[in-house]
Structure 1
Amino acid sequence: METQGERMHHGTGGLWLLVAHLRWLSLLLVAVVGLGEARAQQAMSGSGRPASSRLVDTPFKKAPRPIIGAMRVPRESLPQIENFQLMGYSPLPNPGGTIARGLNGPIGISGNCLYVGSRVGRRPGTGPAFGTPALPPDVLIVDISNPRKPTVVGSFPTLLNATSRELRTIPDANTLIIMNFRETGLDPGEGNNYQIYDITDCRRPVLKQTISLGQDRPHEFFLWRDPKERTRFLIYSSIHLGEVHEPSVRVFELLSPPSGPVSSTPVATFTLAPAVPHQEPVAPSEYRDDHFIFDPGGKPSVQRNNVHSMSVSPDGSRVYVANIHAGYYILDSTRLAQKLPCKRDTVTEDERSNTDPNLCLRKLNPDPKARIDMTPPYGWTEHSAYAVPGRPYLLVSGERNGTDTCPWSVGTILDISNEKAPQFVSRYLVPENLEANCFVGGPGDPALRREFSPHQQLVFSNLFFISWYSAGLRAWDIANPVLPMEVGVFVPRPAEQIVERFRDSPDVWMWSHPLLYNGYIYVADVNNGLYVLRYKGPRCDEVPKLGLFMSNTNFQLPPAQPPGAGHACP
């Protein structure tokens, strides 16, 4: 929340004048977007297919850019770099290889070791499609003692037919946690788990314990550390994909990792069901036509209402939930965080179910219908929700996978000063997210085999970094949340040789959580490898030069900072 001083700062006459000017710019952008939508409606061929049209771009060719970021340059013109400096790179080869393996997954750092998981349940380049037996997927170990020369120095296998889709480190506890979920081909009940490793020797992880989820596939997780009992951790896990069984929020307690007590029985669970069924019919006509330009018959007839991901406040009292199609809402988790006696399972029958103050997890607004719900009419799924440190705002973003799903998804800033009734503040997007640009020959053409969905964030008080698939890594200034400003762009030139490409695409697929470590940003591209970057744009002085920072744990969150002027770095 804002301090009294911050509220007074927001009320000064100079800032109000600035806001007035920024509102004028916002109206200009709205006009540009509206013109683009009109052109898109006119740019249809006789067959109903999108015809060639003039694309719509932001009028701001240099950072900072309000609301709409920079358009991606063509692949042959990459790299595209603004206010970032490339410090180091590794193609992340397979063990014994020299070229990029592709299909990279999440990253985590402990000491001089960086770990890279796998998006698939086998080693890239192996399996029936390659005429070889499928080998287990590898977690790569990268030596980052010299950030300018990150080098793969080892690897270890995880479970065959299961993807190591997320991972976290606890450096001071010498612990690595890997989340796996099964892919097609594995017997039900195997491969859906959290593996807990001892990384005292960070190059030689030792598996110590496993939390099994049986037939239920985890998808994303948040690792919360008790600030009062620092050996106590809670793993907040979502259940997603396949035959989803509610509850789709499950919390597991981990004590004194890597070898301390742990159980596969959750200490708390939450579901909106049955008040909001985890699947329910929806009329395809409720979706916007211009969100299905390249697949007019692809409008869903079923809405999925299980949880995609969540984040947790530093003190553990709030859980910010992103539900696939049921939107965003906030849970009270105070009793669970404080180790007070509480009722483990929350089942939402009606508007009274979440009024019980003794629940471990309860929806702050007990009305099951009280949610920020954007789908339909929009075609995406809700993906992420992260609170802005020290300020009453929530960064949320959607995701829409596929190369034929233009305009994909956008990001939104919500005001959560009233946690029971979050309010829309603004949006942030790239030009490829404008419906007007979904036409053959345009930036949304499926022939380009690209995707422009925002994915994972690293959030500071006035600045955030976000991986954005084919838009690369973007930086946004949110000191004025009404008018977010894009202040940095990094889109690398794709590797020429890759063992196995994601979606058979030759393009950029920036996907992982960005991590800040000792002043450098580390981020992995699914296809192309690991990038080490230095941000040198506006508010660079607010980026810590020492320490490890990430937004998917509470104990490595960036520190809260006042909304000062901010400066660029030389």
Structure 2
Amino acid sequence: MVLRRTPRWRTLGAALGVVSLGLALAPASAATPAHDAPEPAAERTVAGPTGDVQKSDNIRHVANMPKQEPFNTLNAYGTDIAFKGDHAYVGNYDGFVVYDIKNPTKPSIVTQVACPGGQGDVSISGNLLFVSVDYPRTNDTCTSESTTAADPNGWEGMRIYDVSNPAEPRYVSAISTDCGSHTNTLVPDKAGKDVYIYVSSYGPRAEFPGCQPPHDKISIIKVPLDNPAEPVLVDAPVLFPDGGNPGNGYTSATTGCHDITAFPEKDLAAGACMGDGVLFDISDREKPRVINQVRDDENFAFWHSATFNNEGTKVVFTDELGGGGAATCNEKTGPTRGANGIYDIAGSGADAKLEFRSYYKIPRFQEDTENCVAHNGSLIPTKSGDYMVQAWYQGGVSVWDFSDSANPKEIGYFDRTPFDPGKLEISGSWSAYYYNGYVYSSGIQDGLDVLEINDPRTNNAKNVRYEEFNPQTQPVYQR
């Protein structure tokens, strides 16, 4: 989600401190000091999903686990998901939630960690959980308070937890990054000793000491797996030395990246960088190199995220028109704006180029009280073809086929009627990912939904199993 950087303040919904279900954690260790959002709506609790469910016949709604106190407020947005074994780690603007998903028909909350900082993007490696902090705090602890980006002592960046016991996450360390961490991408090193975190952030201003323009870069953190208490900022490479997209009043100017998806086994990554779509060579993990850069100044407003197909020959880029807070899945907006862009990768190595093939947008108009736009999703690991499951906020969850890059089509969907029929509230599916036979959807207000796809085109994917899954770190699965 964009939540564009304007004057940086936000009072987060949950109580300060690390508490939940009786859990109390130690504060973070000291870290190098290091950043907005609209003012929150009036605080109120959310009882659970609202509206009626509409879905295709090949989708079964297996379960829902509503948001629980203290994350059951309107401003405690549920966000991204990382998976490890029988657990799902779901980010939240106010911390994160650990779910037991051993029985997908009966997910349960193991614990909740209240540690505000927005937007709570998560990645996991072994027993380490990495959580993004994108709003300036007075310090790196969970008892910090919100401050402004103009505060020279403000902090934002990455927090690291030990989740060897999922019921008792332990805060290990933190490290600051310029402009905070809107999203993060885990990239394992080739020796298996360290992991790298590519930090995407954006929105610089001259009056922000920790977020100075032009900010045409990302931050790269190296975390030794045997000593996660000592993360190191190894580089902050400038991706656009000649400047990114200047913007045109419709397409955003590029001042950083929103998200990067790594494909380690292919030594590739795809960056969604506000006004630019980027293909990287990441064979040297500490020195990602831009191979190709594309723009779509007519249809793409904000390059948001990216997904490769399994062969690494295609990239699906999402356009987050309206920052995730607008009704853009209506007739007025049309079929190409706020859609996915499907690109084939032609050539290889230094000669690889992204070539546009088509747009994909859900084929159902949504109400003007429903925020809706292309958002986070993942491949379905089928034996043939290219299939994806994807969140569309209040447009629900879409299952679609892009095997023919020029002619994508939807094959299934799950969609609730408006969260509030009387006015537009920020709600819907933030992230929807396929993991070990089921689709898990993180609802901004709806909690965790579990879906099952029963379709001959995708059923063979139910046999594919992962022990660990980060959607921004794509694995290669065997066809």
Query: Could you report, residue by residue, the CA deviation over 1:447-480 in whole angstroms, capped at 9, with x for unpaired residues?
Result: x322221111212462111111121111112232
2:69 aligned partner, one-letter code: N
In the alignment, is residue 311 of structure 1 matched against residue 261 of structure 2?
A: yes
Q: Following the alignment from structure 1 to structure 2, what is the Cα–Cα distance between the partners of residues 163 and 307?
A: 17
Q: Report the CA distance shift for 1:495/1:91 in structure 2 as closer, same or farther (over 3 A).
A: farther
Q: 1:413 matched to which residue of 2?
A: 342
Structure 2: how far apart are the matches of 1:96 and 1:242? Answer: 30
Correspondent of 1:271 among 229, 239, 245 = 239
Rounded Cα–Cα distance in structure 1 between residues aligned with 2:77 and 2:429: 11
Change (3 A) 1:454 1:247: same
The answer (yes or no) to whether the contact 1:196–1:258 under 8 Å persists in 2 is no
Alignment of 1:248 with 2:243, yes or no, is: no
Structure 2 alignment gaps of length 5 or more: 1-49, 138-145, 206-210
Q: Is the 8 A contact 1:113 1:203 kept in 2?
A: no
- Quick one: which of 148, 163, 166 aligns to 1:199? 163
Q: Which of 180, 193, 208 is the aligned partner of 1:231?
A: 193
8 Å contact kept, 2:203–2:255: no
Contact map agreement 2:173 2:229 (CA 8 A) in 1? no
Which of the residues 168, 172, 175 maps onto 2:123?
168
Distance 1:200 1:93 in 2: 23
Task: Determine if contact 2:397/2:432 at 8 Å carries over to the other structure.
Answer: no
What is the TM-score normalised by the length of structure 2? 0.74
Equivalents in 2 of 1:276, 1:203: separation in Å?
46
Give the direction of change, closer, same or farther, for the CA distance of 1:544–1:422 in structure 2 (3 Å limit): same
CA contact (8 A) 2:63 2:106 kept: yes
Is the 8 Å Cα contact of residues 53 and 414 (structure 2) preserved in structure 1? no
Partner of 1:178: 131
2:317 corresponds, among 393, 396, 400, to 396
Alpha-carbon deviation of 1:373?
0.7
Alignment of 1:54-453 (within 5 A): 78-95=53-70, 103-119=77-93, 137-159=94-116, 162-170=117-125, 173-182=126-135, 185-187=146-148, 188=151, 189-213=153-177, 216-226=179-189, 228-243=190-205, 244-245=211-212, 246-256=215-225, 259=228, 261-263=230-232, 265-267=233-235, 269-273=237-241, 275-276=242-243, 280=246, 282=248, 284=249, 303-315=253-265, 317-325=267-275, 327-334=276-283, 336-337=284-285, 360-365=287-292, 371-375=293-297, 377-378=298-299, 380-400=301-321, 401=323, 402-403=325-326, 406-407=333-334, 408-418=337-347, 419-431=351-363, 443=365, 448-453=368-373
Structure 1 residue 107, shift from structure 2 partner:
2.2
Greater share of residues in helix:
1
How many angstroms does 1:231 deviate by? 2.6
Task: Evaluate the alpha carbon distance shift between residue 248 and residue 560 of structure 1 in structure 2; reply closer, same or farther with a 3 A threshold.
Answer: farther
Query: Partners in 2 of 1:181 and 1:403 — Cα distance?
Result: 21
Cα distance change of structure 1 residues 190 and 391 upon mapping to structure 2, 3 Å threshold: same
In 2, the alpha carbon distance for the partners of 1:444 and 1:464 equals: 21
Q: Show CA shifts across 1:424-458 (max 9, x none).
A: 122211246xxxxxxxxxx466xx32222111121
SS at match of 2:182: strand
**Aligned residues: percent identity?**
18
Picking from 427, 448, 452, the partner of 1:534 is: 452
Matched residue type, 1:304? T
Deviation sequence 1:56-82 (CA, Å, 0-9, x none)? xxxxxxxxxxxxxxxxxxx96533244
Q: Give the C-alpha shift of residue 167 in structure 1.
A: 0.6
2: distance between equivalents of 1:422 and 1:88? Answer: 39
CA contact (8 A) 1:198 1:205 kept: yes
TM-score (norm: length of structure 1) = 0.63
Residue of structure 2 equivalent to 1:463? 387
The SS at the match of 1:534 is: strand
Q: How far, CA to CA, are the matches of 2:107 and 2:51 in structure 1? A: 26
Mapped to 1, the partners of 2:393 and 2:192 lie a distance apart of 35
Residue 168 of structure 1 aligns to which amino acid in structure 2?
S
Q: Secondary structure at the match of 1:541?
A: helix
Match of 2:413 among 467, 485, 489: 489
Give aligned pairs, total.
396
Quote how far apart the aligned CAs of 1:218 are: 1.8
CA deviation vs aligned residue, 1:493-532 (integer Å, no higher than 9, x gap):
6779xxxx9x97468511125241x312211110111011
Q: Is the 8 A contact 2:200 2:257 kept in 1?
A: yes
Equivalent residues of 1:112, 1:145 under 8 A apart? yes
Q: Deviations over 1:377-425 (max 9, x none)?
A: 2362111222211141111121112325535511121111225432112
The unaligned stretches of length 5 or more in structure 1 are 1-74, 120-136, 288-299, 338-343, 345-359, 366-370, 433-442, 562-570
Give the aligned partner of residue 38 of structure 1. Answer: none
Partners in 1 of 2:310 and 2:193 — Cα distance?
A: 23
Paired letter, 2:461: E
Question: What SS does the aligned partner of 2:356 have?
Answer: strand
Question: What RMSD, in angstroms, separates the aligned Cα atoms of the two structures?
Answer: 3.1
